[in-house]
A and B are shown apart, each in its own frame.
Chain A
Amino acid sequence: MKGITLSLGLMAATALTVGQASAETVTLTIESWRNDDLAIWQQTIIPAFEAKHPEIKLNFAPMAPTEYNAALNSKLEAGSAGDIITCRPFDASLQLFEKGYLSSVNDVAGMDNFGPVAKSGWSTDDGATTFCVPVASVLHGFIYNKDAFDKLGIAVPTTEDEFFAALDKIKADGTYIPMAMGTNDQWEAATMGYQNIGPNYWKGEEGRNALIKGEQKLTDAAWVEPYKTLARWKDYLGDGFQAQTYPDSQNMFTLGRAAVYPAGSWEISGFNTQAQFKMGAFPPPVKAAGDTCYISDHVDLAIGMNAKTAHPEAAKTFLAWVASPEFASLYANALPGFFSLSNQPVELKDPLAQEFVSWRGKCQSTIRSTYQILSRGTPNLENETWVASANVITGAETAEAASERLQKGLDAWYKPGK
């Protein structure tokens, strides 16, 4: 409540000063959960936009990520939310659109810069209406300690056999822990494990859509295999990985104690400042050399407009700019690891980020399998996948048993084809 009154007061204050300066300028307030990005918005993005559109002022008003969904909902219900809304992917935003709080952005100039996967996070189930302009996605892969690989004479693995051979070699040498990951927080095992390597097995979008349509089941080989591979990771993790948390894994890798880190691209900027050694990255290894590779290119953030905004035209102008290559390049370079979803080429300066984004050229992109539609009911498939992935690695459950349990949970509420 305090936060809301405070931001209301701020909005009123800015409205007043702007009103005095010039009657024609409008101020758009942007709701966001990215309070980490405040400096980037104020120093880079807002000046760039205001230079082009002097008649529109922007007020970036972020809040804590954990409070965002609840606070935004109550602000929208009370009619006090900002003009521009930062959209979470999938159901959280879809719900807002269905309640009439978000406008369609189909007619915003520049929407043809985005492909269907990019739009999938913020479209109705039939894909006809998109309600937020896609901004950023995160990629999965493995970050490795280049110095360690050079010292042990290991080439970057491209197939699964090479991958495990490399891990064996690191383990035999004993200087480094082969892989930095723990199962304590559970989501690491699911997000950096299962969703990282999985797309190569279920063939990305093909398998994901088949699962949604009910043509495939989680008990099919394509969905069980990644769990089996994950179970093999156990031998390469550090001592006591069962109680190792996410920050533990990060520190373990950046302190140079581990050689391979199953990663999300959001780690890049943090690792760049923390790690004292050279780093490289490779995409999830494929089964056999020459197979098509698939990567998890997960949509994460988009920007939409409040349906009840007082300045719809100004909001649309801003959204058109967000859809432009200029914004894409500004954003992606300010936040290496958060990649633009635009089809337009974006020049990246960070080498590690360049490596990650280059996979888009040679591999097929897909989003995390559990995010669209399949996590709407109880039990929640995403949360169950966390538990299952951690269980499979610790050995508490076999790959088959875990898959069977997940499919049973899904069957309990999900009827495909509806």
Chain B
Amino acid sequence: MSSVELDAPRRPVRWHIAVFLAPAVIVYSLIMIVPLFETLRSSFYRVAENQAYFAGLENFKTLFLDDRWAPQFWNALWNNFYFFLIHMVVQNPIGIALAAILSIPRLPGRTFYRTAIFVPTMLSFVIVGFGWKLILSPLWGVAPSLLDAVGLKFLFAPYLGKPETALTTLALISVWQYIGIPMMLIYAALLSIPDEIIEAAEIDGVTGTAQFFKIKLPLLWPTIGIISILTFVGNFNAFDLIYVAQGALAGPNFSTDILGTLLYRTFFGFQLQLGDPNMGAAIAAIMFLIILAGVALYLFVIQRKITRYQF
């Protein structure tokens, strides 16, 4: 389209591009890039007698190996992977299934379900956290009385209060909240598959479930890839739900501690624990590196292997 203008004689420098880009670039640099590098930088420093000094990799060594830090860190990292795993195993397949069901033509109540399933995504994590805490409360919650009504009371336990079940429960609450996102993305991708392809498949006798797995699913892989990477980034940055439901100590007995809550306690301090910005920065740097590695793996390895189809 711009080729029309190219015929004109040598044009002056296009300042307007820089001018229009400037606000975004400046704001983004100031509030994202600069703090990011500041954080990375301060993870290499330590403070002694009110004086910051360069400590190299000391902070990271402490974090990985020191008896006082390492168990907490590895515990948080493992919990974080578990949290991510639950999302990958539960949230995304169910999201795809829901989208597939919703895309069935002439399904009654389709718009209602689409909205209803998406609504929790728009709720504040504070509402979700407190809401589920109340639902699951052994004292006033509806969960025990509902289960009692159908004679399944024995299934109820104080799920959020037991170290064995707390993290899984929280992960499932998070899945409940965010399942709308994979569903919507997949749904949109399903709608954009041209009718010609579906018709061609039908003429060849590929219908129903086979049609989904043989025709639609291969066309969905790029979207599923994007969803996975969004889940990965979101989970390794997660903090809010755990903080709202279990507090900064991520109880019981640190069983729900993930990198976000560990970072919060370390950086800002908690109760009598004074904040340690440098160790906090070191944890933040690790989180950044994990996410960076995950995204890089996706961009340079997985994405290149995914076949894309042009319609």
CB pair A186 B139 closer than 8 Å: no
CB pair B253 A412 closer than 8 Å: no
Provide the residues of chain B in CB contact with A206, threshold 8 Å.
Answer: none
CB pair A184 B249 closer than 8 Å: no
**Interface check A92, CB cutoff 8 A:** yes
The CA-CA distance from A87 to B56 in the complex, in Å, is: 36
Q: Taking CB as reference atom, which chain B residue is nearest A92?
A: B274
Q: With A240-B158, A243-B161, A370-B272 given, is the CB distance from A383 to B68 under 8 Å?
A: no
Q: Taking CB as reference atom, which chain A residue is nearest B156?
A: A240
Provide the residues of chain B in CB contact with A300, threshold 8 Å.
Answer: none
Q: Give per-residue flags for A399-418: 1 if the beta carbon is below 8 A from chain B beta carbons, else 0.
A: 00000000001001100000
How would you classify the secondary structure of chain B's contact residues: helix, strand, loop or mixed? loop
CB pair B272 A90 closer than 8 Å: yes
**Interface check B213, CB cutoff 8 A:** no
Q: Give per-residue flags for A364-390: 1 if the beta carbon is below 8 A from chain B beta carbons, else 0.
A: 000000110001101111110011001
Q: Give per-residue flags for B133-172: 1 if the beta carbon is below 8 A from chain A beta carbons, else 0.
A: 1001111100010000000000001111111000000000
Q: Taking CB as reference atom, which chain B residue is nearest A242?
A: B161
Q: Taking CB as reference atom, which chain A residue is nearest B160?
A: A243
CB pair A243 B137 closer than 8 Å: yes
**Interface check B252, CB cutoff 8 A:** yes
CB pair A413 B252 closer than 8 Å: no
CB pair A383 B272 closer than 8 Å: yes
Out of B137, B252, B276, which one reaches A390, CB within 8 Å? Answer: B252
Provide the residues of chain B in CB contact with A376, threshold 8 Å.
Answer: 274
Q: With A99-B50, A244-B139 given, is the CB distance from A382 to B271 under 8 Å?
A: yes
* Distance of B145 from chain A, by nearest CB (Å): 12
Q: Taking CB as reference atom, which chain A residue is nearest B159?
A: A243
**Interface check B251, CB cutoff 8 A:** yes
CB pair A252 B139 closer than 8 Å: yes
> How many residues on chain B are close to A (CB under 8 Å)?
34
CB contact list, B50-68 vs A, under 8 A: 50, 67-68
CB pair A241 B272 closer than 8 Å: no
**Interface check B268, CB cutoff 8 A:** yes
Provide the residues of chain A in CB contact with B268, threshold 8 Å.
Answer: 70
CB pair B274 A95 closer than 8 Å: yes
CB pair A185 B68 closer than 8 Å: no
Q: With A242-B162, A243-B159 given, is the CB distance from A386 to B139 under 8 Å?
A: no
Provide the residues of chain B in CB contact with A225, threshold 8 Å.
Answer: none
Provide the residues of chain B in CB contact with A412, threshold 8 Å.
Answer: 67-68
Q: With A95-B274, A382-B272 given, is the CB distance from A186 to B251 under 8 Å?
A: yes
Provide the residues of chain B in CB contact with A394, threshold 8 Å.
Answer: 161-162, 252
The CA-CA distance from A348 to B158 in the complex, in Å, is: 41
* Distance of A33 from chain B, by nearest CB (Å): 14
CB pair B272 A380 closer than 8 Å: yes
**Interface check B270, CB cutoff 8 A:** yes
**Interface check B69, CB cutoff 8 A:** yes
The CA-CA distance from A319 to B213 in the complex, in Å, is: 78
The CA-CA distance from A413 to B161 in the complex, in Å, is: 31
**Interface check A269, CB cutoff 8 A:** no
CB pair B249 A243 closer than 8 Å: no
Out of B50, B69, B161, B247, which one reaches A240, CB within 8 Å? Answer: B161
The CA-CA distance from A16 to B254 in the complex, in Å, is: 52
Provide the residues of chain A in CB contact with B254, threshold 8 Å.
Answer: 387
**Interface check B273, CB cutoff 8 A:** yes
Q: Taking CB as reference atom, which chain B residue is nearest A182?
A: B161
The CA-CA distance from A383 to B251 in the complex, in Å, is: 11
CB pair B138 A238 closer than 8 Å: yes
Out of B137, B249, B274, which one reaches A386, CB within 8 Å? Answer: B249
CB pair B138 A390 closer than 8 Å: no
CB contact list, B249-267 vs A, under 8 A: 249, 251-254, 265
CB pair A371 B252 closer than 8 Å: no
Q: Taking CB as reference atom, which chain B residue is nearest A88?
A: B272
The CA-CA distance from A382 to B272 in the complex, in Å, is: 7
CB pair A239 B68 closer than 8 Å: no
CB pair B158 A241 closer than 8 Å: yes
The CA-CA distance from A164 to B128 in the complex, in Å, is: 39
The CA-CA distance from A382 to B273 in the complex, in Å, is: 8
Q: With A240-B157, A242-B158 given, is the CB distance from A185 to B247 under 8 Å?
A: yes
Q: With A99-B50, A240-B139 given, is the CB distance from A390 to B270 under 8 Å?
A: no
Out of B69, B163, B265, B272, which one reaches A375, CB within 8 Å? Answer: B272
* Distance of B38 from chain A, by nearest CB (Å): 16
CB pair A387 B251 closer than 8 Å: yes
* Distance of A394 from chain B, by nearest CB (Å): 7
The CA-CA distance from A238 to B138 in the complex, in Å, is: 9
CB contact list, A242-257 vs B, under 8 A: 242-245, 248, 251-252
Q: With A186-B249, A243-B138 given, is the CB distance from A383 to B274 under 8 Å?
A: no
* Distance of B32 from chain A, by nearest CB (Å): 18
* Distance of A27 from chain B, by nearest CB (Å): 32
Max count, chain A CB within 10 A of own CB: residue among B159, B249, B268, B270: B249
The CA-CA distance from A95 to B47 in the complex, in Å, is: 14
Out of B68, B139, B144, B271, which one reaches A378, CB within 8 Å? Answer: B68
CB pair A184 B161 closer than 8 Å: yes
Provide the residues of chain A in CB contact with B270, threshold 8 Å.
Answer: 380, 383
Provide the residues of chain A in CB contact with B138, threshold 8 Å.
Answer: 238-241, 243-244
Max count, chain B CB within 10 A of own CB: residue among A99, A238, A383, A409: A383
CB pair B137 A248 closer than 8 Å: yes
Provide the residues of chain A in CB contact with B67, threshold 8 Å.
Answer: 412
Provide the residues of chain B in CB contact with A251, threshold 8 Å.
Answer: 139
7 A-B residue pairs with Cβ-Cβ distance under 8 Å, sorted by A, are A185-B247, A240-B139, A242-B162, A243-B158, A245-B137, A394-B161, A396-B163
Starting from the known contacts A91-B272, A241-B158, A242-B161, 17 additional A-B residue pairs (CB-CB under 8 Å) come to A95-B274, A184-B160, A184-B246, A186-B252, A240-B139, A240-B158, A241-B161, A243-B158, A244-B139, A248-B139, A378-B69, A378-B276, A380-B270, A380-B271, A381-B272, A397-B253, A413-B68
The 8 residue pairs across chains A and B that have the minimum distance between CB atoms: A240-B138, A242-B161, A243-B161, A243-B158, A240-B158, A380-B273, A375-B272, A382-B272
